[in-house]
Chains A and B, each alone.
Chain A
């Protein structure tokens, strides 16, 4: 029988300051990267504009593509090789009077001296894009609110709040990873973020369940609350890691074999699953601090406000 972490007894709770430090550092790094990039790198789904994916009959260089676009005064286009050297993604900013696709394709073909085929075209008007940016934010917030409500009902409000902190952490770190690797915020990436919101909380719930189960039995002699939480984390550690591992495998397969169209989406999932697993351990430790903080307030009600 293969087993991992059978008698795991890591001192997670004792080392929780390191978690806070690591999480704080990752979030700070993410936010700094996003700020340095001038906000999230929204794709055309959110900004409006045009995207054309073309495939040449034989390999060409970015310069060939650029020449074709310059010929019809589309110098502001962003060109990206997409897969092999025959396939390119061309992003055109929002224009009042978009050039017909036929004109673009024939200019590209003329400049490269080879046939070119349109594989995909996406055009999003400015109004649609603006609508979506706001809706996307609402969707993520609604997802978090839904989870907060559910966890608050199933456990308690405190558990819900800690879950939300963990989820927000996962979303921020994933956005940061997208920003650092210069990936775009598109609709599929948003779908990945929402999936992370719903999935990364799972491991946290498993630990919470175990903490509650253990507390129901009451503290054993000589056992502190810190021990209890720590034991709960260790007891569920194999579960936490294994469930995340299978999902991680699936996301990784998508990243490797799913093709360019799904790559950013799969990347967000891979990062989200990893940070989601990590954050569930860290979040459980947070229970500990919240508990001792609220206890100290209850015991000495006058003390905290007086100092504050």
Chain B
């Protein structure tokens, strides 16, 4: 019986044409994974609690100011945990007056109130906590994307993973260390006044006044790699931050030919800067990045231009990267590297080479085996296998799937598994022939009886692939994808295509006496 042979041939030709369409030109259509082309894979954990802490501390300052405006003295206010504020009034008698202030702050709720002691514990509302956490991650993602865009990486991939993780994939980055530092830097820029009344050396050993803090200027000597730490005592009050900047760029000092970063404040920032310089002529202004004092120049006069310079013995790449992070802004919360996988371009090229050799060797071994064992039918199975691989590659191109080294392993394995279907069918046909059936009846019975088994075996492998895809990370996902596509494609090639060829050869009008199987 030759049912609809024309239509079926048309379908096979159409599939080949579509596959060819997706595969041309080959180099552009198949995405290579980081393990093949080299690059860096980073998973960053956003320390969202730090963002909450900062928010709570800022709110604490506001509440204190609000209370004091009403003439209520606060003896003590401090953060407890990540989300709570403990407020201690100087006099419990003022408790009643303080109540409206506590109740007005929308983002907090009063968790404990001790009227006799004049003490209240305020807690961030759960809705606020969730929102702040979410915001910290999303802003972090956006900031990192900005930085990477400015750094100049072709086709970076930056996405949120889970609640508070950010997955970054940078193909072909030459200097992973630098990229990592650029991405991971919190880049919180702060301007604070140096407290000249306190001797930093003494403060480093002893006590620091409550309104001040002790920070260090850390410098690494370029030749000796020795780190020096110079202590500074600065006032806690933050005068300006990176948020007040309009832009930042690298300049070269004419005299020392050392690079530095020149920053320009936005209009509000420029006004604040002018006021602050005017009020503090003669004092020193510390420029602090991530709690490291970069420089602390003396204010000589009012600076109305809204420009400032950050010097600090930079190399040119360091200055470039600092300018980038200042332009892109600070991360709302610090990040921590949870996972890193870097593959150098040379290893990637090696892997591609070995992958190609493996694929070719496996294909050759299987093709020869099928040919020797099943002769003409084996040849048909070999063509089916070739078609399978073409469909597999085309499907990967069409779905923009990424080919990884385990993905290549999946292809190699597919070569061995795809012919299984043909073996099941051919063995069944041989059995039917032995039982005395005619060639045509044997082919019919072989295909229909083996079909159930074929479906079963496909389902079980697909179950595994699906779980692997769900579970795995990058490269392993690639394995699951190529295995699944290869197995699915073999339904078309090993069953549909092979049957079609058999029909054309053996089911014609001529009498068929024998079959080469």
Contacts and interface: CB of A to CB of B under 8 A. Distances in A.
A152 interface: no
Contacts of B295: none
Contact of A257 (B357, B430, B470): B357
B463 A143 contact: yes
B420 interface: yes
B416 A248 contact: yes
A136 B340 CA distance: 19
A214 interface: no
A147 B461 CA distance: 9
Contacts of A256: 361
Given A135-B471, A199-B417, A242 B423 contact: yes
Interface stretch (B123-131, B196-204, B345-353): B345-353
Interface string A106-129: 000000000001111111110110
A258 B453 contact: no
B415 interface: yes
Interface string B406-450: 100100110111011001100100110010000000000000000
Contact of A259 (B346, B351, B430): B351
A201 B453 CA distance: 12
Nearest to B462: A198
A188 B423 CA distance: 28
A269 interface: yes
Interface string B316-354: 000000000000000000001111111110110011001
A7 to B, nearest CB: 9
Contacts of B361: 253, 256-257
A223 interface: no
Interface string B454-477: 001101111111111011110110
A191 B479 contact: yes
Interface stretch (B187-195, B238-246, B366-374): B366-374
Nearest to B385: A246
Given A121-B341, A239-B427, A259-B350, A195 B413 contact: yes
Interface in B372-407: 372-373, 375, 405-406
A254 B423 contact: no
A121 B342 contact: yes
Interface centre among A3, A198, A245 (most CB of B within 10 A): A198
B420 A202 contact: yes
A249 B476 contact: no
Given A53-B347, A100-B177, A258-B409, A205 B457 contact: yes
B459 A247 contact: no
Contacts of A62: none
A262 interface: yes
Interface residues of A, number: 68
Contact of B365 (A150, A202, A249, A265): A249
Interface residues of B, number: 71
Contact of A209 (B427, B452, B517): B452
Nearest to B461: A198
A139 interface: yes
B88 interface: no
A265 B405 CA distance: 11
Interface in B218-232: none
A304 interface: no
A195 B339 contact: no
B358 interface: yes
B176 interface: yes
B453 A55 contact: no
Contacts of A262: 354, 405-406, 409
Interface in A255-307: 256-259, 261-262, 265-266, 269
Contact of A202 (B343, B355, B461, B480): B461
Contact of B413 (A146, A238, A251): A251
Nearest to A247: B416
A188 B362 CA distance: 19
B419 to A, nearest CB: 5
A190 B405 CA distance: 15
Given A139-B471, A249-B416, A261-B405, 8 more contacts: A120-B341, A124-B338, A191-B406, A242-B423, A254-B362, A254-B413, A257-B361, A262-B406
Q: What are the 7 closest A-B residue pairs judged by CB atoms, nearest first? A: A198-B464, A250-B416, A247-B416, A259-B354, A123-B340, A202-B457, A243-B420
